[in-house]
Amino acid sequence: MFRPLMLMFGLMAGGQAWGSAPANEPILPVQPAKITNEAKVELGKQLFFDPRLSKSGFISCNSCHNLSMGGSDNLPTSIGHNWHQGPINSPTVLNSSMSVAQFWDGRAATLKEQAGGPIANPGEMGFTHDLAVDVLRSIPQYKASFKQVYGNDSVTIDEVTDAIAAFEETLVTPNAPFDRWLKGDKKAISATAEKGYQLFKSIGCVACHNGEAVGGASFQKMGMVEPYATKNPAQGVAGLTGKDQDRMMFKVPTLRNVALTYPYFHDGAYWQLEEAVDVMARLQLGRKLSGDEVSQIVAFLDTLTGDQPSFKLPILPPSSAQTPRPAPFN
């Protein structure tokens, strides 16, 4: 359920991040992940990559949030069970723990709450929570892992989503060139990128794109100055509240690793970062940027690509004779 206070909280969070930024900058460096329970994170990693949490036995969390592709799938909308066309662009999972809420419309307050959604969505992984848990309970190695982490081998959907969220919390991207610049290395970004950052601030982009994630802290209307023309039926927060004033109100996306997460916007309509910058300046700020100004801002945005998560791919435990069989064509 959408929390009405999310927008207010997001704006407050954005303002707080602005005030505490190094050298009074509105953007904060990404901090490395702190892992307090390695066994839970490892279990969550296995679940994130395990396609057996889907009806087809083919779709995993990583299918739409591919960690080899900036935590997204580089498609306008994702492909779900039985080649179902998803309703909206898949947001990156990278740095998602920094967001005030999850999904474009904020319908999940936490990563844990979000993790359960796609599993049971007939247009995504096409399963049910009960059937997903039945699969995991039928695999002895999973039962042992859940017992190690949670103290019992019963396996519940609450534990499944908790473990996935614990892994996703580690998917941060520190050490971007811009972060090194923020910390004092003035040679970390080019003169063009620095001009782009100053322009990014002066024309007002930082009003929404600020803090550690350079976004994700508030909800804003898509098309503040000019209406956004799209064939995508998504209505943003209005789809939850039914209120006209919430129409086209979406969570501000993070700009971290934005060079990797094309195509852009909730409908995935624009494939080039230059196009996206031009559209946002016109629709949100009422500014028509020159070609040089667009290039400068894009040069800055390129410096927000941080160190991508790097780890050994998990070896998934084999199914047993009792494991329910996948149904990829049903």
Contact by Cβ (8 Å): 100, 10:
yes
d(CA 261, CA 96): 13
d(CA 179, CA 70): 18
The distance from CA 119 to its chain's CA centroid, rounded to whole angstroms, is: 17
Please report which confidence band the pLDDT of residue 81 belongs to, taking 50, 70 and 90 as the band edges: very high
Structure-block tokens of residue 81: 């069970």
Please report which confidence band the pLDDT of residue 303 belongs to, taking 50, 70 and 90 as the band edges: very high
Please report which confidence band the pLDDT of residue 19 belongs to, taking 50, 70 and 90 as the band edges: very low
Kindly tell me if the per-residue pLDDT of 241 is higher than 60: yes
Mean pLDDT along residues 223-251: 97
Kindly tell me if the per-residue pLDDT of 14 is higher than 90: no
Contact by Cβ (8 Å): 135, 55:
no
Residue 256's nearest CA partner among 178, 180, 167 is 178
d(CA 93, CA 171): 7
Which pLDDT score is estimated for 23? 60
Per residue in 23-66, pLDDT (tens digit) is 689 999 999 999 999 999 999 999 999 999 999 999 999 999 99
Which pLDDT score is estimated for 11? 39
Q: State the number of CA atoms in the 13 A half-sphere of 88 facing the CB.
A: 16
Mean pLDDT along residues 206-222: 98
The residue annotated as part of the active site, out of 25, 38, 113, 124, is 124
Per residue in 271-293, pLDDT (tens digit) is 999 999 999 999 999 999 999 99
Structure-block tokens of residue 316: 């998934």
Structure-block tokens of residue 270: 């624009």
3-state secondary structure 236-254: ECHHHHCCHHHCCEEECCC
Mean pLDDT along residues 152-165: 96
Structure-block tokens of residue 254: 């993070």
E strand map for the chain: 219-221, 249-251
What percent of the chain clears pLDDT 90, i.e. is strictly above it?
Answer: 92
pTM for the structure as a whole: 0.92
Which pLDDT score is estimated for 186? 95
Mean pLDDT along residues 202-213: 98
Kindly tell me if the per-residue pLDDT of 238 is higher than 60: yes
Q: How many CB atoms lie within 10 A of CB 56?
A: 18
Q: How many CB atoms lie within 10 A of CB 124?
A: 23
Kindly tell me if the per-residue pLDDT of 82 is higher than 90: yes
Q: How many CB atoms lie within 10 A of CB 143?
A: 17
Residues 6+ apart with CB under 8 A from 293: 199
Which pLDDT score is estimated for 20? 40
Number of H helices, E strands in the chain: 12, 2
The single-letter code of the amino acid at 229 is A
Q: Among this protein's residues, is 124 annotated catalytic? A: yes
Please report which confidence band the pLDDT of residue 153 belongs to, taking 50, 70 and 90 as the band edges: confident
State whether residue 302 is helix, strand or coil: helix
